[in-house]
Amino acid sequence: QKEVEQNSGPLSVPEGAIASLNCTYSDRGSQSFFWYRQYSGKSPELIMFIYSNGDKEDGRFTAQLNKASQYVSLLIRDSQPSDSATYLCAVNMSGGATNKLIFGTGTLLAVQP
């Protein structure tokens, strides 16, 4: 079992729709959760992070965390073609000396105009 699992996609949504990206993790000690967006050949760009159960909203993005079920999701409202990218889920066990991120393989999102 992978430590962080994501559906590789591609996830195809029409422009203006809600894109829902999901991620599950295996380590119950994970405390911090991150969503990065990566365009081809570019750096992973941090778009959301969440530490507590529930929802966190930032503009068109909402991160949802459910520690009991060990999943974290990212909702993108009013999807735009420019949102087409690979979305990486990452978790870490903060509070200790190590701060390494454990990544999923990423979900490719394609927003159709």
Partner 1 sequence: EAGVTQFPSHSVIEKGQTVTLRCDPISGHDNLYWYRRVMGKEIKFLLHFVKESKQDESGMPNNRFLAERTGGTYSTLKVQPAELEDSGVYFCASSQNINQPQHFGDGTRLSIL
> Which listed range, 15-23, 43-51, 55-63, 73-81, lies at the site for partner 1 (CB under 8 A)?
43-51
In the bound state with partner 1, the residue whose beta carbon lies nearer, of 94 and 112, is 94
Residue 79, Cβ density class (10 Å: 0-12 exposed, 13-18 middle, ≥19 buried):
buried
- In three-state secondary structure terms, 101 is coil
Nearer to partner 1, 88 or 111 (CB): 88
- Min dist. Cβ of residue 4 to partner 1 (A): 7
Residue 97 CB, nearest distance to partner 1 (Å)?
A: 6
Least Cα distance to 87 among 73, 65, 106 occurs for 106
List, in sequence order, the alpha helices (H) in 4-88: none
> CA 79, CA 18: separation in Å to the nearest integer?
6
Name the segment binding partner 1 (CB under 8 A); options: 15-23, 37-45, 55-63, 67-75: 37-45
Rounded-to-integer distance, Cα 53 and Cα 93, Å? 15
Question: According to CB under 8 A, which residues from 72 to 101 bind partner 1?
Answer: 88, 90, 94, 97-101
Residues that bind partner 1 (CB under 8 A): 2, 4, 34, 36, 41-46, 49, 88, 90, 94, 97-106
